[in-house]
Amino acid sequence: PAPVTGSLLDGLDEDQRAAAASDCGPLLIIAGPGTGKTRTLTHRIAHLVTERGVAPEHCLAITFTRRAAEEMAERLASLAPEQAEKLTVATFHSLGVRILRQQHDRAGLSADFGIADQPRQLAMIAEITGDVPGARRRLRELSRARRTGAADELAERYTKALRQQDLVDFDDLVAVPAALLAEDEALAAGYRDRYRWISVDEYQDVDEQQYRLLRLLAPPDGNLTAIGDPDQAIYSFRGADVGFFLRFQEDFAGARTVRLDRNYRSSAHILRAATQAIAPSTLVPDRELRPLGDHGDALVGLCAVADERGEASFVARTIDQLLGGSSFHSLDSGRVSTDGTQGLDFNDFAVLYRTDRQARAVMEALTQAGVPFQKRSHDRLSERPGVEPILAELAFEGSGTALERVRRAGDVLIERGAEAAEIHSAVELLKPLAAECGDDLARFRTELALGVEVDTWDPRADRVSLLTLHAAKGLEFPVVFVIGCEDGLLPLRWPGEDGDDFAEERRLLFVGITRARRHLYLSHAAERSGRAVRRSPFLADVTEGVEQLETVSRVRPRETQLRLL
């Protein structure tokens, strides 16, 4: 039995503690945003290895992004400093690489097989199909088909071509190890013996191949802890299927289920808005989001603006105002925050949007207002301008000296006139990775090909964060703006697309709303990119406890100008 006092688990509430201290066997933690799922997961692992005598080598924690894995590893290092080194904290893909490196010959690969990056994949598709302009679309379709296990002739030829060049692609990293384990029971048993305690965060977002791999690693009576929130399933466009979460009980008979409903993150207003927003398509009908904290004058503001520039300046002004930077109060409602200005820094603010291009107007307005910001980027590092020539150069050198040169400097690396600036900034981006990989050039290349994102976003930097709704998953901020709450944008609708299954778009709004701790602003414009737009139908559901902030909605600068002319 778990020690009652002086335990790591003291940092958890009763329900969380029950989950963290739960005995062997499959466990499903199903809970809403901000209820401490991730916190419970890390405490559970730390508790197992420090207080229950589980060998850290036997623990495997899986998350979806490299960033989330890093964060989890950090938290574990502080909770269980002595054991942390020996724990495996991985993404599905890095786990797959690990298995593939160990079992490469079974997969018909050499020990130092490569991972095809996107340009390489596109070139191969174009060569097979003879369709250069359509390659991108075909690759998307192919990737989706393979992830959901529906392979066709193109997929077969493409895979064959990959193997001939001693390559795997990103999808293979999970699918091939799963196939190897499925074929060979003894091999699977070996891995099951190694990873006896497995935990997966954000389980609502697993796809078919990840699920397969997991099933092979975790027997029906195994120690698998799955954690998630079906209402935050937002990756079906990449093949994720929330159905795997929903049938956990069937897959793992006798699984224990724990629910957490105390929300440690958000104010009551925000939780009410979130509940209303998700209600029409919730997958967890009897769930409650109970607020815990006292957030003073917490506010949910609904803001109508003229256009993207009006929206951006609303964001900039509101930040300025909440920081106490300006003497005037620009909201028409005349509402002056009494404690809202206290204790906020730039990094307490996040601006969330559905599509990356929405960030531009906001960046302009923040720059003009002198507000420091950082945008979380999703470009793959390997696809950034300047990276490729550096890699080509490195290929000619011994690994030690090559990476040493990246670590040391950019400007002496390659002198190439016009490209110098690009190369210089690419070196800056590569430096941290070079430092991490030491002299191991092969690892450096693997990490790059694994799709290391240009994620220079630093949660500790004192800057306003600009993120897509997808990138904001799992994070929290005292003040959140969800911009562009418009029909066609949230829900996002591509031209010519019909369909009325907007459940996932609604979940995205839910994810966005629930990132906020104290203040939430939802804005929508009357016109975007010069076109009249309507507010999001989702906003009609978010009514209670919401304050209508009228800002510049009645001023249409463009028309005014025209009339003057």
Extract the annotated binding site: 31-38
Q: CB under 5 to 8 A by kind: which of ligand ATP, Mg ion, none does 222 bind?
A: none
Token reading at 509 = 């709004």
- Residue 536 binds: one of ligand ATP, Mg ion, none (C-beta under 5 to 8 A by kind): none
Minimum gap (Å) between residue 39 Cβ and ligand ATP:
4
> Least distance (Å) from Mg ion to the CB of residue 232?
9
Partner that binds at residue 208, options ligand ATP, Mg ion, none, CB closer than 5 to 8 Å by kind: none
Q: Which does 265 bind (CB under 5 to 8 A by kind): ligand ATP, Mg ion, none?
A: ligand ATP
- Binding partner of 225, given Mg ion, ligand ATP, none, CB within 5-8 angstroms per partner class: none
Contacts (Cβ under 8 Å, ≥6 apart) of 345: 323, 462
Which strands make up the sheet holding 59-63, listed edge to edge? 88-91, 59-63, 197-200, 223-228, 27-31, 256-260
Nearer to ligand ATP, 11 or 389 (CB): 11
Contact partner, 16, from ligand ATP, Mg ion, none, Cβ < 5-8 Å per class:
ligand ATP
User: For ligand ATP, which is the closer residue by CB, 205 or 207?
Assistant: 205
Residue 339: other Cβ atoms inside 10 A: 11
Q: Give the chain's end-to-end CA distance (angstroms, integer).
A: 80
- Cβ contact 383:119 at 8 Å: yes
Residue with smaller CB distance to Mg ion, 169 or 229: 229
Unique residue bearing structure tokens 């996002």: 492
* Minimum CB distance to ligand ATP, residue 74 (Å): 13
- Long-range contacts of range 413-416, CB-CB < 8 Å, 24 or more positions apart? 414/389, 414/390, 416/389
Q: Minimum CB separation from ligand ATP for residue 515, in Å?
A: 7
Q: Give the β-pairing of 27-31 and 223-228.
A: parallel
d(CA 528, CA 484): 9
Provide, rounded to whole angstroms, the least separation between the CB of residue 104 and ligand ATP. Answer: 35
Residue located via tokens 């950034």? 384
* Residue placing its CB nearer to ligand ATP in the complex, 71 or 169: 71
In angstroms, what CA-CA distances link 484 with 200, 312, 315, 357, 546? 32, 10, 12, 11, 17
- Residues contributing to the annotated binding site for ATP: 31-38
446 is in the binding site of which of ligand ATP, Mg ion, none (Cβ under 5 to 8 A by kind)?
A: none
* Residue numbers at the binding site for Mg ion (CB under 5 A): 37-38, 474
User: Where on the chain is the footprint of ligand ATP (CB under 6 A)?
Assistant: 12-13, 16, 31, 33-39, 229, 232, 264-265, 474, 476
Residue nearest to Mg ion (CB): 38
- Can you spell out the DSSP letters for 175-186? HHHHHHHHH-HH
Nearer to ligand ATP, 34 or 291 (CB): 34
What angle do the packed helices 387-394 and 399-408 form, to 10 degrees? 150
Q: How far is the CB of 203 from ligand ATP (least distance, A)?
A: 11
Strands (E) across 249-341 are located at 256-260, 262-263, 290-291, 299-305
Which residue number, 31 or 240, has a Cβ lying nearer to ligand ATP?
31
Question: If you count them, how many residues does the chain have?
Answer: 565
Q: How far is the CB of 91 from ligand ATP (least distance, A)?
A: 16
User: Collapsing DSSP states into helix, strand and coil, what is residue 560?
Assistant: helix
Q: How far apart are CA 42 and CA 362, in angstroms?
A: 35
Coil, strand or helix at 113: coil
Q: Least Å distance between CB 228 and ligand ATP?
A: 8
Of 202 and 486, which CB lies nearer to Mg ion in the complex structure? 202
Residue 13 contact partner, candidates ligand ATP, Mg ion, none, CB within 5 to 8 A by sort of partner: ligand ATP
Q: Is 495 exposed, middle or buried (0-12, 13-18, 19+ CB in 10 A)?
A: exposed
Tell the smallest beta-carbon distance from residue 62 to ligand ATP (Å): 15
**Residue nearer to ligand ATP on the CB measure, 12 or 240:** 12
- Of residues 38 and 337, the one with the C-beta less far from Mg ion: 38
Can you read off the two tokens belonging to residue 11? Answer: 């940092």
Separation between Cα atoms, residue 524 and residue 513, nearest integer Å: 14
Q: Please give the distance of CA 489 from its chain centroid, rounded to a whole number.
A: 19
| Position with the least CB separation from ligand ATP | 36
